[in-house]
A = this chain, B = another copy of it.
Amino acid sequence: MGTALRRFWIPVLLSEEVPVPDCEPIAIRILGEDLVAFKDTNGKVGLIDAYCAHRHAHLYWTRNEENGLRCTYHGWKYDTEGNCVDMPNEPAESNFKDKIKITAYPTREWGGVVWAYMGPVEHMPPELPQFEWARVPEEHRIATKRLQESNWAQAVEGGIDSSHVSFLHSSLNQAQTGMITGVPAQAVAPGNASNPSFAQQGRTMALDKSPRFWIGHRDFGFLAAARRNAGEDKYYWRITPYLAPWYTIIPGGGQEGSSLSGHAWVPVDDEHVWTFTFTWNPTRPLTPEEHATHMQGFGVHTEVDKNLPRWDLKISNSYKPIRNMDNNYMVDYEERRKRTFTGIKGISEQDMSIQESMWPIVPRWREHLGTTDKAIIEFRKLVMGMARDLLEGVEPEFPHTPDAYRVRSAAITISRDVPWEEGSAEVVKAKV
């Protein structure tokens, strides 16, 4: 599976982690590999082996200076290509440094994220996937991340599971008020809570908790469409795009001026995952109030301690959630009795409380999947198929269809006689 995932461009860092040329380097683990990231003097981001080739000192303890990382042990210096460009402890006439090259991965910086390609160079996709959240101007976007204590796949499975929203993220009197805690960004944006259409969606989800699912295969992965009854002649459709290998977009948006949110789940190793979260508005900058609300952990973004190291994972800046397993996610039992389904603050923490509890890797032989797990089954087929195909020499096509990724989610109420693929066709197109 790792080999298949390495055919894709991978979001490895937030841009904020390497904010300026010659900033501090970052120790990071991606797909079980220990790396350091840095931005060189020219503004190019390097992503190279975490260890100096000389004596295996970790390059987090380096100086980022004059277009390279200089190991603090003996001054060996590496550029963003992994070349050893200086070896000051060797005699001037030595050509030893020319023989030293460490692993380095091509990177690009785009959409608030540093991307890397960690696969064989002959299969490198020329273009990044054209996510709308990456294409909008910077001030239209919030990009955050957190370290989650679970395998990546069960996290993706949470993202494409439209049926859990009626439970995990719901409030207790939702059927009456429509007030929900489980929909993205716009739910908590000032002014939107009273959006009548939005409150209606909340009521609809509370009243019909057993949606029926359809899958529509696409060049980027698939659309998972969940249908709920909405009055006598209409259906409420929540359409979640799954974009291979680990992206999802939360159903929502659609109204003029409304925002969308989505995730990327990038494996740290088998038992940890980087959860990236994006909120973007296609038509306008996000307001300071919207920023503040998200940063305070009210929406799908997570309150984190960015700087705490996790050297057991060789991570210098762990983005560890403030509300985490060790403090029972600061669950408020009074809140659970009176107002919300879980008593846990934050949609992302609600998700973590479940996904981290399922064991680091869910023992899938203990599951009993039902009719609402269609998207999960489909996801497993797709990624396992991709891995199997590759074993037989069949390359995945997803990494090479960047424009297919110009897609949105949908949350629409349409007449019962309109097929969902027809009724949502325009809505699910990215506009930017």
**Which residues of chain A have a CB within 8 Å of any CB of chain B?**
24, 51, 53-58, 60-61, 63, 71-75, 87-92, 94, 96, 99-100, 157, 163-164, 166-168, 209-212, 309, 311, 316, 325-328, 333, 336, 341-342, 350, 353-354, 357-359, 362-364, 366-373
Contact = CB atoms under 8 A, between A and B. Distances in A.
Given A89-B167, A163-B74, A166-B89, A326 B354 contact: no
B168 A55 contact: no
A219 to B, nearest CB: 29
6 cross-chain pairs, A with B, having the tightest CB-CB distances, nearest first:
A58-B357, A75-B167, A88-B209, A56-B358, A89-B163, A57-B354
Contact of A24 (B56, B57, B333, B353): B333
Given A88-B209, A90-B371, 18 more contacts: A24-B333, A55-B157, A56-B363, A56-B366, A56-B367, A60-B357, A61-B354, A72-B168, A72-B342, A72-B353, A72-B354, A73-B354, A74-B167, A89-B211, A89-B372, A91-B371, A96-B368, A316-B328
A167 B333 CA distance: 46
B326 A89 contact: no
Contacts of A357: 57-58, 60-61
A154 to B, nearest CB: 8
A61 B163 contact: no
B341 A55 contact: no
Given A61-B354, A88-B209, A372 B164 contact: no
Given A72-B342, A100-B368, A309-B328, A55 B358 contact: yes
Contact of A72 (B73, B167, B309): B167
A158 B357 CA distance: 36
Q: Secondary structure of the A side of the interface?
A: loop
A367 B102 CA distance: 11
Given A24-B333, A61-B357, A63-B336, A366 B75 contact: no
Contacts of A53: 366-368
A324 to B, nearest CB: 10
18 contacts: A51-B358, A55-B157, A56-B363, A57-B358, A58-B358, A61-B342, A63-B336, A74-B167, A74-B168, A74-B372, A75-B166, A75-B209, A88-B166, A90-B210, A94-B371, A96-B368, A309-B328, A311-B325
Contact of A209 (B89, B350, B366): B89
A328 B367 CA distance: 42
